[in-house]
Structures are given as structure tokens and as C-alpha cells.
């Protein structure tokens, strides 16, 4: 009597830091000419029900500790090596079961909850990353933007070297200020996207030219997060200047607005709310980041020269929440409007 051969994985696919479990399993199956059922079945032997198909863009796969050990044996990698690379194979997300179990769970559909497609240039085409609540991020190679919205898509930013320069500025700000720098980028990006939605109030023809260069004329909204990146970085750096000023006596938000208006060449930013409402999002941001002189005799948090990244974080108002992980676009914004949904005026 013949017996079916056990599942074998002679080819190990490279690990990608931050990859979803479903994506890693799908890549492993394809590389070894296995069906999804064969691979998932090997992680829960004895189960009679047909395992679900692997759909990395739509659903994540969770394993119990015994199934994780079976996977480690199958791909000939230590459990801790898999767990370091794949976030959902770490202790917290594992299923609480003492027997081999596999469960497929549809990704939530909220902003920043869907996975991000991997860059095919420096990772692997068809692979997916856990978003960690990021809706988008530039790839480290500087030639693609990874976006989780609308089922996930990539933006080829190679035609626009100014986006690569903006990435370098983002990294430098993060290196200098820590998560406070990334939080200010999140704020500036919110403001810039609001300007884009309201008929490109700031970028104007520059943003239109970049949209044309990215080659998605029927999907301009999909490229906007990348298109506004250079102005985002200029504004984030200016926001840090205000963060330093607002803790000092006599801090003048109008003087800061005039400097920003001159830098971005948009006079309306400093003219009340501006003739086209350009000043609305910055007025809302300033309402959260008000001038607050420290108590006499007590230096402002982070005011001493060379303050630590912790000092820099304490300068931010309470509306900011420290990101769980380091990196670009990990911090949330204190501004509450959501790109892609109807935007209203101050008080969203």
C-alpha cells in the first residue's frame, strides 16, 4: 500500500523583516511547487477540513506554538529567527493552543490596517508587509512608495529625484529628533494632503507636474501622498523651529507663519486664514501647539543644547502619542482629519 510523501521544502525563501505570515507562507509554497492546502496542512497534521487559500493582501495567517515549531522544522530555521522577521510569529499574536492550529483572519479595513506591498526592487515582488498602522511609506531604496490603501499598490517614484531627497531629509530629522521628528512629519503630511485635496492650494503646478511624471493620470489621488513629500519635509522642519520657539517668552505664531509663507511662497498662509483657506490647517495645528512659556526658573523640556530624543518628545503637546516602533511614518498626527474621507474645516 502506497503512502503519500510528507511535505518537503527543499528551497528556503529569504526572510523579509516585517513580512506577514501569509505572505511568507505563500512565497514558500510557490518556491517549492506546493499548493496552499499542502503547506497549511503540514502545519496542522490530522485536520480534516480543507485549509483556506493564502490571500496575503486580504487576510493574515496565525499559528499556534506547535504549528510554529512545525514550520521552523519544515523550513529549517530556528523559531526565534522566524519570530524576529515575521511580527505575527512572536509570542503575543500566536494562537493560544497547545495543539497545531492555523487560522486565517481577514485584515481590518480601516486606515493603516491593511498590509503594505513590498518593493519588488529590494525585497520581493508579491510579498506583503505588516503595516503597523502605516498607510504608506517610502521604500528604503527611495524608488517606490508602498501604500496599503485600496487593496495595496506601489508608486514608482524613480522619475522624481526630489522625492528621494525628501526621504533623506526625513531620515535626518528622525535621526536628530527621534520619534518627535516623525510625529512632526505626520502633522506636516496631514496639512500638505489637506492642501492637495483643496485644489492643490500650495503645490499648484509643481504637484501637477509631479503627478504627470508618476504616470498615473487617472489615479492622481493615489499618488498624492508621495507627491506632497518634499513640501511635507520643508513644513516639518519649520514645525520643529516653532516647537523650539513656543516654549520661550514672547513666542509669536504670526511671525512663524510669515516665515513659512515666505519659504513655501504662499502669502495666504500668513494672511488670516488666506484668501483660499490655505491657512486653515496650519491654524488648526497651531491651536494644538500653542505658545506656552515655561515656569520661571524651570527650563523648557529639551531646551538645553544637545537634548536627547526623549527631551525632544516631551516638547510635543499631549495630542501626540509615542509610536510603538521606530521608523518612517510610524508616529501618528495630532490632526484628526483622514485623507480619503470628506475634509471639513477646523474642528474636524
Over 70: is that where the pLDDT of 330 sits? yes
Over 60: is that where the pLDDT of 56 sits? yes
Q: Mean pLDDT over residues 98-127, rounded? A: 95
| Contact by Cβ (8 Å): 203, 140 | no
Over 80: is that where the pLDDT of 1 sits? no
pTM across the whole model: 0.90
Over 70: is that where the pLDDT of 133 sits? yes
Give residue-wise pLDDT tens across range 174-210. Answer: 999 999 999 999 999 999 999 999 989 999 999 999 9
Categorize the per-residue pLDDT at 230 as very low, low, confident or very high, splitting at 50, 70 and 90.
Answer: very high
Q: Mean pLDDT over residues 74-79, rounded? A: 98
C-alpha cell at 72: 521552523
Give residue-wise pLDDT tens across range 300-318. Answer: 444 445 578 888 999 899 8
C-alpha cell at 179: 520619534
b/e for 52-67, b at 16 or more Cβ within 10 A?
Answer: eebbbbbbbbbbbbbb
Give residue-wise pLDDT tens across range 267-286. Answer: 999 998 988 999 999 999 99
**DSSP states of 29-90:** HHHTT--HHHHHHHTSTT--SPPPPP-TTTEEEEE-HHHHHHHHHHHT--HHHHHHH-GGGS
| DSSP single-letter state for residue 243 | H
Handedness of CA 307, 310, 311, 317 (dihedral sign): positive
b/e for 89-124, b at 16 or more Cβ within 10 A?
Answer: beeeebbeeeebbbebeebeeebbebbbbbbeeebb
Among 119-128, 146-155, 230-239, 307-316, which stretch is predicted with the lowest mean pLDDT? 307-316
Amino acid at each position: 500500500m502506497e503512502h503519500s510523501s510528507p511535505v518537503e521544502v527543499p528551497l528556503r525563501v529569504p526572510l523579509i523583516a516585517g513580512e506577514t505570515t501569509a505572505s511568507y507562507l505563500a512565497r514558500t509554497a510557490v518556491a517549492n511547487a506546493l499548493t496552499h492546502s499542502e503547506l497549511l496542512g503540514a502545519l496542522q497534521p490530522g485536520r480534516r477540513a480543507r485549509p483556506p487559500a493564502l490571500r496575503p493582501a486580504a487576510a493574515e495567517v496565525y499559528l499556534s506554538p506547535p504549528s510554529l515549531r512545525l514550520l521552523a522544522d519544515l523550513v529549517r530555521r530556528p523559531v526565534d529567527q522566524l519570530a524576529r522577521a515575521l511580527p505575527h510569529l512572536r509570542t503575543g499574536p500566536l494562537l493560544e493552543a497547545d495543539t497545531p492550529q492555523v487560522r486565517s483572519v481577514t485584515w481590518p479595513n480601516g486606515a493603516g490596517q491593511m498590509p503594505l506591498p513590498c518593493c519588488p526592487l529590494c525585497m520581493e515582488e508579491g510579498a506583503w508587509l505588516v503595516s503597523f498602522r502605516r498607510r504608506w511609506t517610502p521604500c528604503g531604496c527611495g524608488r517606490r512608495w508602498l501604500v496599503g490603501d485600496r487593496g495595496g499598490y506601489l508608486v514608482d517614484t524613480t522619475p522624481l529625484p526630489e522625492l528621494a531627497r525628501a526621504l533623506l531629509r526625513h531620515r535626518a530629522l528622525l535621526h536628530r529628533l527621534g520619534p518627535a521628528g516623525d510625529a512632526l512629519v505626520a502633522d506636516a503630511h496631514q496639512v500638505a494632503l489637506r492642501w492637495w485635496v483643496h485644489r492643490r492650494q500650495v503645490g499648484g503646478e509643481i504637484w501637477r507636474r509631479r503627478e504627470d511624471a508618476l504616470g498615473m493620470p487617472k489615479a492622481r489621488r493615489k499618488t498624492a501622498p508621495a507627491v506632497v513629500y518634499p513640501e511635507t519635509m520643508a513644513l516639518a522642519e519649520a514645525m520643529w523651529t516653532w516647537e523650539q520657539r513656543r516654549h520661550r517668552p514672547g513666542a509669536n505664531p504670526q511671525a512663524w507663519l510669515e516665515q513659512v509663507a515666505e519659504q513655501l511662497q504662499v502669502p495666504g498662509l500668513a494672511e488670516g486664514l488666506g484668501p483660499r483657506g490655505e491657512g486653515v490647517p496650519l491654524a488648526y495645528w497651531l491651536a494644538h501647539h500653542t505658545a506656552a512659556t515655561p515656569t520661571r526658573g524651570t527650563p523648557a523640556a529639551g531646551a538645553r543644547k544637545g537634548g536627547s530624543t526623549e527631551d525632544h518628545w516631551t516638547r510635543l503637546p499631549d495630542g501626540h502619542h509615542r509610536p510603538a516602533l521606530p521608523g518612517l511614518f510610524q508616529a501618528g498626527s495630532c490632526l484628526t482629519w483622514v485623507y480619503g474621507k470628506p475634509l471639513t474645516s477646523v474642528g474636524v
